[in-house]
Amino acid sequence: MRIVFAGTPEFAATALAAIVDAGLEVVLVLTQPDRPAGRGMKLAPSPVKQLALARGIEVATPQWLSLKKGGEAAVAAHAKLRAAQADVMVVAAYGLILPQAVLDIPRGLPDAGCGRITALNIHGSLLPRWRGAAPVARAIEAGDAVTGITIMQMDAGLDTGPMLLAESTPILEQDSTATLTARLASIGARLIVDALREGAAGRLKALPQPAEGVTYAHKLDKREAWLDFALDAELLARRVRAFDPFPVACARRGEATLKFWRARALPGHAGASPGTVLATCAPGLHIACGEGTLVMTELQRPGGRRVSAADFLAGMPIAVGEVLAGPPPEAAAAE
């Protein structure tokens, strides 16, 4: 079985490593072009590209796969895919929309009930809940108790294809998007190897997604990072976890932007205005919200690193009664 793999972040690299380690043949890897990263903003390859090169697998980094938008570059990318003579494509957090013309290129695995399987997707939710770009973060933000991985037969829709395998995992109280994504990556890596083996043997059974229960996980935006303390503390605590590692929850203290990495919610705040600092102690910075109190337990000041509340307050004392605010006027106006 010849496989083309398309993916970009560490989540996808975990799956690629599992496929290769299982002895399956990956003949070509597609990933996003190198991006600026780090303090020096130097161009850096994606985790998938780094792994593929280390394993001696050919890598392509097309900017477009749509023939209408990509012109000659997209035509060349399609030609490279056809030359790979793949049986199936595996897609995991790739970052480019795959048009039907691309999905039709692989020869395909045996029909599991919904047509030949030309492309498999490792999706970080239990479909049809949280289709779209940010399923892990949106599940945490919404307060879901459980999520999981779905191995899906791809079609031209947005995560609408038939489901082939799925496995659930609880969302723990302390889970951030970073920790939950790592756990889901391990599940997805194991399931995709099973799907490829079972699919090649004709033992998969496709299950169309139900029409009920569809939700969309819209892409995270940097503007969402600004916390609105007029909201419920429980929701804000979930957003702190959901926005780790991106875009990182934050608020203003004067001209300084404070980042919040860990928080918990407490009931009540004795009627203080939202954003008011109620207490500054080692366990955390207590902030009044529309409902309840948000306790920030891990913070980061400008130019600093993420530290415990005790270490943060030792380096940046904050007085009880100060009021933390949302985005600066220019940022709010841009929304």
**Number of compact structural domains in the chain:** 2
Check pLDDT > 90 for residue 234.
Answer: yes
Give the residue from 160, 190, 217 where a domain finishes.
217
235 to each of 27, 41, 76, 86, 159, how far by Cα in Å?
A: 45, 33, 47, 45, 27
Check pLDDT > 70 for residue 49.
Answer: yes
Identify whether 247 is preceded by a cis peptide bond (ω within 30 of 0).
Answer: yes
End-to-end CA distance of the chain: 48
Residues 179 and 292 in one domain: no
Averaged pLDDT of the chain = 95
User: What pLDDT, on the 0 to 100 scale, is given for residue 330?
Assistant: 60
Mean pLDDT within 6-20: 98
- What's the CATH code of the domain at 321? 3.10.25.10
How would residue 79 be classed by pLDDT, with cut points 50, 70 and 90?
very high
How would residue 237 be classed by pLDDT, with cut points 50, 70 and 90?
very high
User: What pLDDT, on the 0 to 100 scale, is given for residue 331?
Assistant: 57
Check pLDDT > 90 for residue 268.
Answer: no
Check pLDDT > 70 for residue 335.
Answer: no
Give the residue from 217, 245, 269 where a domain finishes.
217
Residues 197 and 241 in one domain: no
User: What pLDDT, on the 0 to 100 scale, is given for residue 282?
Assistant: 86
Residues 137 and 253 in one domain: no
User: What pLDDT, on the 0 to 100 scale, is given for residue 137?
Assistant: 98
Mean pLDDT within 266-270: 86
Q: Which residue reads 């909201």 in tokens?
A: 231
Mean pLDDT within 138-152: 98
User: What pLDDT, on the 0 to 100 scale, is given for residue 68?
Assistant: 86
Quick check: 101 and 14 in contact, CB under 8 A?
no
Mean pLDDT within 52-73: 93
Residues 82 and 189 in one domain: yes
Domain assignment of residue 126, given as a range: 2-217
- Letter for the amino acid at 83? A
Mean pLDDT within 34-48: 87
210 to each of 26, 61, 158, how far by Cα in Å?
A: 32, 35, 14
How would residue 41 be classed by pLDDT, with cut points 50, 70 and 90?
confident
Residues 249 and 266 in one domain: yes
User: What pLDDT, on the 0 to 100 scale, is given for residue 13?
Assistant: 98
- What's the CATH code of the domain at 37? 3.40.50.170
Q: What percent of the chain is modeled with pLDDT above 70?
A: 98
Q: Cα 39 to the chain's mean position, in Å?
A: 22
> pTM, whole model, 2 decimals?
0.94
- Letter for the amino acid at 144? D
Give the residue from 187, 217, 247 where a domain finishes.
217
Residues 268 and 120 in one domain: no
Residues 167 and 247 in one domain: no
Residues 128 and 90 in one domain: yes
Residues 203 and 301 in one domain: no
Check pLDDT > 80 for residue 329.
Answer: no
User: What pLDDT, on the 0 to 100 scale, is given for residue 211?
Assistant: 92
Distance CA 130, CA 123 (A): 9
Check pLDDT > 70 for residue 333.
Answer: no
Mean pLDDT within 119-127: 98
Residues 156 and 185 in one domain: yes
Residues 8 and 138 in one domain: yes
Distance CA 225, CA 240 (A): 8
Residues 160 and 65 in one domain: yes
Segment 162-217, tens digit of pLDDT: 999 999 999 999 999 999 999 999 999 999 999 999 999 999 999 999 999 999 99
